[in-house]
Amino acid sequence: MSKKLEANGLFESSRMILPEHREAYQVYMREQERRGRPVLDDQEMQMIEQALIESYNQRVPITVVVFNPFDDEELRGIVTNVNTGLREIKLVRGAEDYSWIKLEEIISVII
């Protein structure tokens, strides 16, 4: 009995992880992968806005890369509406599939 109490023997023999602890650890590790928003200079923002306006005027499909803290999203569609007051665009990807995207979330645009 005294052997278990020496040199952390009591806890060495118990290697069980509770499900709550596992979930908390997984959430903690996922939060460690979070990254910050990239800072775009004025020239890049002008190029993005120009491509969005071109898609709106000529109904040309574009690919918009939207910022996500863990992994960037690529959305392909046509800009059908531009709301300058809220600084967002409406990107239509199909007949009933569309998204409102804020201009601050857009990282790049590919025509």
Closest CA to 38 of 78, 72, 76, 74: 72
Counting beta carbons within 10 angstroms of the beta carbon of residue 51, is it exposed (0 to 12), middle (13 to 18) or buried (19 or more)? buried
Given a cut of 60, whether residue 13 has pLDDT beyond it is: no
Counting beta carbons within 10 angstroms of the beta carbon of residue 89, is it exposed (0 to 12), middle (13 to 18) or buried (19 or more)? buried
Higher per-residue confidence, 50 vs 4: 50
Read off the pLDDT of residues 23-32 as tens digits, 9 standing for 90 and up. Answer: 999 999 888 8
Distance CA 27, CA 70 (A): 13
The mean per-residue pLDDT over the stretch 42-50 comes to: 93
